[in-house]
Amino acid sequence: MTRILGTVLALCCLVAVGPTPSVAAAEPGDLPAFTQVQAPSVSGVRRYGHRLVVSPGRWSPTPATTRYQWYRDGQPLAGDTTRVRDIRPGDVGHRLAVRVSVTHPTRTPASSVVQLGVVKHRVDTRRVVRYSVRTKGRVPASLATFKTLAQQTYDDPRGWRGRGVRFVRVASGGAFTLWLSEAGRVPGFSSVCSAQWSCRVGRNVVINVQRWQHASPAWNRAGRSLRDYRHMVVNHETGHWLGKGHASCSRRGALAPVMQQQSKGTQGCRFNPWPTLAELRRP
């Protein structure tokens, strides 16, 4: 009897440790396809300052995961994978698209692309302003670079272009002259001007080359970039030509108006190179 019981236990152990039959996993291509019940779509205004929201559409079965990838002029934007997207300055003048990709354990992965038209500025052009560029005195800075960076400031959707003003540089004349001036020659434009700062007098928008090259002590202490200072000083002095006076900080921690004298400090506001929405909307 003992011998028979041992034989039975041995057979049980052999069954328990024996090989398990393998089950072949289905390849994605072997799975049935998704059924697209409703195509994805994008809602929102294609203008800077607005927000786009993707509707993933409807699929059968309901996807286990849904992912998004944004494109600009056909090129994927790294890390740009959200369903809700604010239009950015670099989008203006370019075409956006978004790919919606869906997966499910019982279906082959699928995707659908929504193509959008060209993204526009916050508002259409309401006024075209022509200006020319000149230098005064000894200017140890590249005039070509000054022209390029100033025009970039004027073209930027965050700047006065957002008020509908389009600036066009001409060889001479124009509605105003944008000067890059030696610091010591700035007071020559008017007794109200200082050799320390930039200035605007009549149709002359004067950028102090010392400030253009080195920003200001207050700006530098805040750790802001020279490029942002150049945006700010061009926007500020041109804002005067557009008829805007100086502004002050509305509350501590708020964004400083571009018409505030940020070269000297911000009174508790945050340094800011661009007109605020209030400045763009105000006549």
Domain end (from 78, 94, 118)? 118
Same domain for 133 and 253, yes or no, is yes
The pTM assigned to this predicted structure is 0.86
Report if residue 1 sits inside a domain: no
Helix (H, G, I), strand (E, B) or coil at 208: strand
Domain range spanning residue 137? 127-281
Same domain for 152 and 208, yes or no, is yes
Same domain for 73 and 174, yes or no, is no
List alpha helices for 69-183, DSSP H.
143-155
Rounded CA-CA distance 67/8 in Å is 56
Rounded CA-CA distance 128/139 in Å is 29
Looking at the 3D structure of the chain, how many domains does it have? 2
Instruction: Walk along the chain (283 residues) and give the pLDDT tens digit of each residue.
Output: 344 334 433 333 333 333 333 334 445 568 999 999 999 999 999 999 999 999 999 999 999 999 999 999 999 999 999 999 999 999 999 999 999 999 999 999 999 999 999 999 999 999 999 999 999 999 999 999 999 999 999 999 999 999 999 999 999 999 999 999 999 999 999 999 999 999 999 999 999 999 999 999 999 999 999 999 999 999 999 999 999 999 999 999 999 999 999 999 999 999 999 999 999 997 7
Domain end (from 118, 135, 152)? 118
Q: Check the CA dihedral 104-107-108-113 and report its sign.
A: negative
Nearest one of 242, 251, 253 to 275, comparing CA atoms: 242
Rounded CA-CA distance 119/93 in Å is 5
Same domain for 166 and 98, yes or no, is no
List pLDDT tens digits, range 50-75: 999 999 999 999 999 999 999 999 99
Same domain for 134 and 265, yes or no, is yes
Same domain for 139 and 275, yes or no, is yes
Q: Give 83-124 as a DSSP string.
A: SEEE--GGGBTSEEEEEEEEEETTEEEEEEEEEEEEBB-SS-
Does residue 199 contact residue 238 with C-beta atoms inside 8 Å?
no
Between the CA atoms of 261, 267, 271 and 274, what dihedral angle is there, to the nearest 10 degrees?
Answer: -50
